[in-house]
Structure formats: C-alpha cells, structure tokens
Amino acid sequence: MKIGVIGGGQLGRMMALAGTPLGMHFSFLDPAADACAQALGEHILGDYDDQEQLRRLADQVDLVTFEFESVPAETVAFLSQFVPVYPSAESLRIARDRWFEKSMFKDLGIPTPAFADIQSQADLDAAVASIGLPAVMKTRTLGYDGKGQKVLRKAEDVVGAFAELGSVPCILEGFVPFTGEVSLVAVRARDGETRFYPLVHNRHDSGVLALSIASTAHPLQALAEDYVGRVLKQLDYVGVLAFEFFEVDGGLKANEIAPRVHNSGHWTIEGAECSQFENHLRAVAGLPLGSTAKVGESAMLNFLGSVPEVSKVVAIEDCHLHHYGKAFKAGRKVGHATLRSKDMASLKARIAEVEALIQG
Ligand code: AMP
C-alpha cells in the first residue's frame, strides 16, 4: 500500500519507520528541501497549497494522511477529489482552530477553561472584564509549542496585546491553576473501533514538551477515555488523535486536541505493544488495530536543540535513542529517547541519567 503524508518532518519519518515493515511505501509533500522524512520515502518538494504537487502526490498513493494540522482547508478538499484522506477535512477544520475546538468541547459537555473569541482589542478588553486575570491569550490557528500565546497577568499586559499577537483572530482562556498536565492518545478505525493508550503525565519547559511518563491505572483514565471518545465519535474520526488535559481539583479540563500522532505518544514505539505510528497507519489503511497495552514502565525525554553524544545515551540501560537527522538549532525538536524499566523507581533513576546528559 502506498501512503501519502502531508509534511515530511520527524512524525512522518516515524510513521514510515512503523509502516515499512507492514509493506507500506511512503511519499511526503514538504516545502523544506532538507525534510527529514525523505530518508524513508519519496520527497515531493512543494508548498501545501501547490496544486500541481498535490496532484502528483495523489496520483502515486492509495490514501493521504497528515503529520500536522495546519493545512489549508482547500488542500484537503483538493486532495479528497482524487484519493481518500484521513482524518477528514472536518476533523482538521475543527482541530486547527482553537475557537472551533473549544466550542466543540463545550457542546459535548467536556469541561474546558472559560473562553472567548477575540477579533479586536475591544473584544479582548470585554473578555478580560468577564473572564478575569490571569488569563491566556492564544492565536486561533497556527500556534504550537507555546508559540502564538501570551499570559496576561495584570491590566498592563492587556494593553496592546491584540497587536502584539499579530492582530489575528485569537481566543482568551481563563488561566487554569493545574496540578499536572496529562494527555490521552487514542486511535479510531474506519469501522469505529476505538482504543486508548494509558494516560501520560507531561512536563513542559517554556511551553515545549520535555518529559512524558506513561501511567499505570491512572484514576482519571476512564474519565479521559469518556471525553476523548465523545470527540472521536462526534468527528467520525479515523486515525490517531491526542487530547491534552489539565489536571485540576481531582478532575480534568480540556486544553487541546491534535488530529495526528503526537509527541506525548512517542514512548509507545518501545513502550507499548503496538506504537501510535503503527496504529495510525492501521486505522487509515483499514487494517485491524493493534494492542495499546503498555509493556513495563516507560518514559520519553525530548532532545531540543541538539542530541547528546550517542554513545552516552545508548549506554543507559534500556534507553532507546531516536535521532531525527535534522540540523541542530536552538529549541528545535531534533530527537528523543524512550526509557523502559520494570519498575517506576528504576525508571526515575534512568530519567535522571538522561536529564544529566541533556544538561551536560
Ligand atoms: P498549548 O499550546 O495550548 O498546549 O499551551 C502550551 C502550554 O501552556 C500548556 O501545556 C500549559 O503548560 C500552558 N497553558 C496553556 N493554556 C493554559 C491555561 N489556560 N492555563 C494555564 N496554563 C496554560
């Protein structure tokens, strides 16, 4: 089977690493000449709205999927004329826009911070008056890893904030005094069968994911599955979807969804029976889903900016290195390590070893 992927970064690369053993072949559309997935398939060089290159991609594959959600709606509509596209245009339309996303949570009865649509500084002033401070202002689209957002703590922070974020449509959210951040990665097949990975505890540094630890029998697992299940059903979703939550007052508040494989699911490559990448491909290709069960304790640490010396990373017991083959640049996700262990105490000791290398 031939799979087309919109985007040729590390997520596309890891998809191909999972799909190649299933006999799949990959083509990636990406405007970057050095897209790191090209080592694993054909690279079609083109912008995401380049109809000539989109047509070329559609002509050589059986279906198209995505490694990121910020794709123009017209791109999805154009591709859909020639080839099946998963997840659907509607799923991407909702997930790429924080206003549509949060409105869906509200409609489905999923708790989320108070939020308001902001189209002008006057809208922002009115929203601050009703939601209060502190609050978080975020661009409706194209924000990721803490980019395109600003925390408003005092009245002075509000002045000119709309222009500061580029005078583009935004939302204002109430600030959540969370005790933790967790995410649930789920997969839904074409026939509606749905499976969930264990809840993952995430630590973000400066808005960017640093560490994920897969949990065992988390008390909020069933609640999270209920919320995520509602969204998957609503969207008639096909593929992997990640849902990020704040843990607050012993419950969950929805932050955001990503309609794709997700950084907080990278641990599943070695830490679960069937990885998020393989399960995404199984789902979009109409194959039976694989088990989402965890095998032992597992954690993932991101390498931002550079990858520590390879010999030192792999010297750590049951540490699996993923080097994305990308040019090193401050703050850029260039690799990660998955750690495995039989028990949580030794897992934590191994996490400390990797963190020492990162700081090293
Ligand atoms: P996001 O891009 O929406 O995932 O936000 C990046 C990070 O900013 C989150 O992982 C949180 O650590 C923090 N954050 C986002 N929204 C809020 C909020 N409403 N209240 C408190 N912290 C937030």
In a domain, 107, yes or no: no
CA 283 to chain CA centroid, nearest Å: 17
Backbone angles phi, psi at 65, to 5 degrees: -135, -175
Using one digit for the tens of pLDDT, what is the confidence trace for 99-108?
Answer: 999 999 999 9
Examine the domain organization and report whether 211 and 269 are in the same domain: yes
DSSP 96-116: T-HHHHHHHHHHTT-----EE
What's the pLDDT at 143?
A: 78
Q: Is the pLDDT of residue 145 over 80?
A: no
Cβ of 173 below 6 Å from ligand 1? yes
Using one digit for the tens of pLDDT, what is the confidence trace for 59-78?
Answer: 999 999 999 988 888 899 99
Cβ of 113 below 6 Å from ligand 1? yes
In this prediction the pTM is 0.97
Domain boundary among 174, 190, 222: 174
What's the pLDDT at 326?
A: 97
Examine the domain organization and report whether 221 and 339 are in the same domain: yes
- What proportion of the chain, given as a percentage, has pLDDT over 70? 100
Using one digit for the tens of pLDDT, what is the confidence trace for 286-336?
Answer: 999 999 999 999 999 999 999 999 999 999 999 999 999 999 999 999 999
Determine the atom of ligand 1 nearest the C-alpha atom of 176: 20
Q: How many domains does the chain have?
A: 3
Q: Is the pLDDT of residue 360 over 90?
A: no
Examine the domain organization and report whether 192 and 291 are in the same domain: yes
In a domain, 294, yes or no: yes
In a domain, 98, yes or no: no
Q: How far is CA 279 from CA 83, 241, 354, in A?
A: 21, 11, 28
What's the pLDDT at 72?
A: 86
Query: In the structure, what pLDDT confidence band is assigned to residue 147 with cuts at 50, 70 and 90?
Result: confident
Examine the domain organization and report whether 168 and 222 are in the same domain: no
Examine the domain organization and report whether 225 and 348 are in the same domain: yes
In a domain, 288, yes or no: yes
Examine the domain organization and report whether 130 and 18 are in the same domain: no
What's the pLDDT at 207?
A: 86
Query: In the structure, what pLDDT confidence band is assigned to residue 347 with cuts at 50, 70 and 90?
Result: very high
Examine the domain organization and report whether 23 and 54 are in the same domain: yes
Mean pLDDT value across residues 115-122: 98
Examine the domain organization and report whether 45 and 63 are in the same domain: yes
Determine the atom of ligand 1 nearest the C-alpha atom of 144: 2
What's the pLDDT at 271?
A: 98
CATH number (domain holding residue 23)? 3.40.50.20
Examine the domain organization and report whether 223 and 291 are in the same domain: yes
Beta pairing partners, 174: 135
In a domain, 150, yes or no: yes
Q: Is the pLDDT of residue 151 over 90?
A: yes
Cβ of 207 below 6 Å from ligand 1? yes
Using one digit for the tens of pLDDT, what is the confidence trace for 159-176?
Answer: 999 999 999 999 999 999
Residue 69 burial class via C-beta count within 10 angstroms: exposed 0-12, middle 13-18, buried 19 and up: buried
Query: In the structure, what pLDDT confidence band is assigned to residue 343 with cuts at 50, 70 and 90?
Result: very high
Examine the domain organization and report whether 41 and 125 are in the same domain: no
Determine the atom of ligand 1 nearest the C-alpha atom of 175: 20
Examine the domain organization and report whether 193 and 229 are in the same domain: yes
Domain boundary among 174, 195, 219: 174
Between CA 168 and CA 345, with CA 207 as vertex, the angle to 5 degrees is 160
Domain boundary among 124, 151, 174: 174
The whole domain housing 44 covers 2-85
Mean pLDDT value across residues 256-279: 98
AA letter at 250: G
Mutational test site, ligand 1, from 255, 256, 302, max ligand atoms within 8 Å of CB = 255
CATH number (domain holding residue 140)? 3.30.1490.20
What's the pLDDT at 206?
A: 87
Determine the atom of ligand 1 nearest the C-alpha atom of 135: 19
Mean pLDDT value across residues 14-22: 98
Q: Which of 181, 316, 338 is nearest to 272 (CA)?
A: 338
Q: Is 45 helix (H, G, I), strand (E, B) or coil?
A: strand
Cβ of 175 below 6 Å from ligand 1? yes
Mean pLDDT, the chain, as a whole number? 96
CATH number (domain holding residue 346)? 3.30.470.20
Examine the domain organization and report whether 277 and 212 are in the same domain: yes
In a domain, 102, yes or no: no
Mean pLDDT value across residues 219-229: 98
